Amino acid sequence: MNLKNLKQMLERTASEVPQNTAIVLGSRRVSYREFDETSNKIANALISLGIKKGDHVAILMSRTPEWVINCFGVLKAGAVGVLLDAGAKAPELEPQLRESDSKILITEERFSPTLSSVLPNIPLLKQVLEIDTDAYKGMVASSSSVSPSVNIEGEDEAILFYTLGVLGKNKGVVHTHASFMSILPIAVAKFELERDDVVLGLLPFNYLMGFGLVVLLPIMKGATIAILPHFSSKSVLETVAREKATILMGVPASFNAMAMIDEETMKSYDLSSLRAVLSSGAKSSALFMEMLEKKFNLTACEIYGLTELIIVTLGAIRDRKLGTAGRPLAELRVLDKNGKEVPRGSVGEAVARAPWMMKEYYKSPELTARVIKDGWFHTGDLVRLDDDGYLEYIEKTSSIIVPSGGVKILPAAVEEVLLRYPAVAETACVGVIDDYKGQIPTAFIVLKEGQSTTVDEIRDFCRQSLSDYKVPKQIKFVDSLPRTGSGQIDRKRLSVTKES
């Protein structure tokens, strides 16, 4: 069967392994047959409510099996899923619901207080479906479980993600069914995914990597999606042991925390099923990844991708190099500021193209044209390809620190040195904005538990490896680093931290 859309993908898997567990959360287990039939019921219910092919249906839900099933209900109806952040506040949700042209919102009763001030301002939104109400359950129960006869082509739009992305402006990224169907078989092969794999995801589903890796990848192969609503090292260990999880997918911060788990704690859990971790969303530390590999006896892989371009490079199970994000899957060029390719080993902007690139920023042709030029997507990310063709992610061009002297500082270069200091667990270097001094190079540091040090000791250590102008002018010890919903360090928030 030549699969051309996500509806067909689920239907094929459900026909081949109907009894296999598709999704698990605690005691809740959903087979592929139940997943397929219930999503058909939801699709037919949406169609009966007037949803037509190409209409937009928003999803604002907790990370549960119902999120996955309802999302596929939307897709099977031929509609476009608008994925909203369950942690968003009313001022963030209102423009997204309005600008996305969503006609129906699928949500839960617990979001009602947040939505009460938003909904009157969304004229196109015709209906709100709360999945935990008797009305919704009755509607789905009385709906047909037969697959709806909607003709979905590969080029039809499937999902709209919201991201700050390359331009630092909140906008909708449109992906088609073909976007996902072109990359999923490649990713399945590179990660050697099998039907008996249990994928434990630590990523929100409304983010590209959460949806693409944690949700779609297992469905493509008929593996199991294990859901963890909230991250803690203990909850990961408990879930791995209980569900015999084989693959963990998350951001570097989660894996750094796991690398620091003490051996005594680990002895309480059977973790022998784990074989791999897939890290994405930010640059990982080779040091922590190596610790993780040795401690858990697994293979650590890293992915470099963006909401706009699903995977640019990938470290495969049998072809990865710690400290890099693997080799290119997309066509990749590394360019200087004049648009010329840089020599191998030099830093430049990643510019790429692939069949799994976004279609556009929704209703924003001007913004789309700023990042897609002659078919090539300009990422705004600084990278370096080593002699063996592995990509090292350096920094977003917007994160470069330009102090008053005008000499540019790459935060990653400073962070790499700081992470070698024995007492440092995590760090982020940013240019803290000062009205008079401009950007002040500042290191925010989280110390390892039970460790202590001083600002002077940190500076002396930095001077051994860094030019004087790269040594942070300010060093601030903090309990934790602020993060975005996707788990990346929120550098923007750090950059406006006031001097204390």
Domain identity same for 68 and 81: yes
Residue 326 lies in a domain: yes
Return phi, psi of residue 229, to 5°: -65, -40
CATH number at residue 489: 3.30.300.30
What would the two tokens of residue 94 be?
């209102």
Q: Are 29 and 60 members of one domain?
A: yes
Question: Would 113 be classed as within a structural domain?
Answer: yes
- The answer to whether 484 and 282 have CB atoms below 8 angstroms apart is no
Q: Tell me, what's the pLDDT at 405?
A: 52
Residue 441 and residue 474 in contact, taking contact as beta carbons nearer than 8 Å: yes
pTM, entire model: 0.84
Structurally, the chain folds into a number of domains equal to 3
**174: in domain:** no
The tokens for 4 are 């051309």
Q: Say if residue 334 is in the same domain as residue 448.
A: no
Could you list the residue range(s) of the whole structural domain that residue 412 is in?
A: 400-495
* Same structural domain, 380 and 414: no
Answer yes or no: are the C-beta atoms of 484 and 467 closer than 8 Å. no
One domain, residues 224 and 373: yes
**pLDDT on residue 395:** 74
Q: Report the C-alpha gap between 445 and 362 in whole angstroms.
A: 38
Taking the C-alpha atoms of residue 423 and residue 446, their distance in angstroms, rounded to an integer, is 9
Given 379, 397, 415, which residue is the final one in a domain? 397
Within 8 A by CB and 6+ apart from 468, the residues are: none
Paired tokens of 328:
């290119």
Residues 354 and 467 in one domain: no
pLDDT one digit per residue (tens) for the chain, 500 residues: 689 999 999 999 999 999 999 999 999 999 999 999 999 999 999 999 999 999 999 999 999 999 999 999 999 999 999 999 888 888 888 989 999 999 999 999 999 999 999 999 999 999 999 999 999 999 999 999 999 999 999 999 999 999 866 665 678 999 999 999 999 999 999 999 999 999 999 888 999 999 999 999 999 999 999 999 888 889 999 999 999 999 999 988 788 889 989 989 999 999 999 999 999 987 888 888 999 999 999 999 999 999 999 999 999 999 999 999 999 999 999 999 999 999 999 999 999 999 999 999 999 999 999 999 999 999 999 999 999 999 998 877 667 676 655 566 878 878 988 999 999 999 999 988 776 566 889 999 999 999 999 999 999 999 888 878 789 999 999 999 998 776 778 888 898 876 54
271 and 368 in a single domain? The answer is yes
- Tokens found for residue 177: 């069914």
C-alpha to C-alpha distance for 246 and 270, rounded to whole angstroms: 12
The per-residue pLDDT for 197 is: 98
Residues 290 and 217 reside in one and the same domain: yes
Encoded amino acid at 235, one letter: S
Tell whether 417 and 489 lie within a shared domain.
Answer: yes
182 domain-assigned: no
In a domain, 171, yes or no: no
Q: Which pLDDT score, from 0 to 100, does residue 500 have?
A: 47
Q: Are residues 148 and 291 in the same domain?
A: no
Any idea what the CATH number is for the domain that residue 12 is in?
3.40.50.12780
